[in-house]
């Protein structure tokens, strides 16, 4: 159950980030400061990928709630960083970003960390 919930948390986080990144790159002038929050809200309403992204964020949050109810906090929070591994792979494959050596090795170090958490 723990690993199923963790997988849902990671998958939903990644989907949310990818959708957000895809959509925000198309938005002109995305600088968000305290005064820009109203503009941000307006942008969100006009962008359906952003709405989908927020829905994924909600799925991720509710599965994280269920995860943290049964699994230790000291496991749940670090393990959710698994999203960086999946994101790095998908950033390369879906968003066609260049994945540098440093980012690839970072994702591998995170993977090593999660393997140790699992023991």
Partner 1 sequence: MSGATRAGRTLSLLAAFVVLRAFGNLALAFGTKQFPEVLAANPLAYLRAMLSPFVAMGVGMLILAMLLRMVVLGIADLSFVLPLTAIGYVFAALLGRFILHEQVSPQRWIGTVLIFIGVALVGSTPQNTTALAADDEVELQ
State the residues that interact with partner 1 by CB under 8 A: 1, 5, 25, 31-34, 36-37, 40, 61-63, 65-66, 68-70, 72-78, 81, 84, 88, 92, 95-117, 119
Residues 6+ apart with CB under 8 A from 9: 60, 63, 64, 67, 80, 83
Write down the least CB distance from residue 25 to partner 1, Å.
8
Alpha helices in 25-47 (DSSP H): 37-46
Length in residues, the chain: 119
- Identity of the residue, 34 or 45, whose beta carbon is nearer to partner 1 in the bound complex: 34
The strand ranges marked E within the chain are none
Closer residue to partner 1, CB minimum distance, 24 or 52: 24
Q: How far is the CB of 88 from partner 1 (least distance, A)?
A: 6
Residues 21, 6, 52: CA angle, nearest 5 degrees: 35
Q: How far is the CB of 87 from partner 1 (least distance, A)?
A: 8
Distance between CA 104 and CA 64 in Å, rounded?
Answer: 26
We find the least distance from the C-beta atom of residue 84 to partner 1, in angstroms, to be 5
């Amino acid at each position: 159950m723990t690993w199923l919930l963790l997988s849902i948390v990671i998958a939903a986080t990644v989907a949310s980030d990818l959708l957000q990144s895809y959509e925000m790159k198309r938005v002109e002038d995305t600088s968000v400061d305290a005064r820009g929050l109203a503009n941000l809200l307006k942008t969100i309403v006009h962008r359906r990928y952003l709405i989908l992204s927020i829905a994924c964020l909600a799925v991720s949050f509710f599965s994280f709630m269920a995860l943290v109810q049964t699994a230790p906090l000291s496991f749940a929070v670090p393990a959710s960083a698994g999203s960086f591994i999946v994101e790095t792979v998908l950033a390369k494959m879906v968003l066609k970003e260049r994945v540098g050596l440093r980012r690839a090795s970072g994702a591998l170090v995170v993977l090593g960390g999660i393997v140790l958490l699992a023991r």
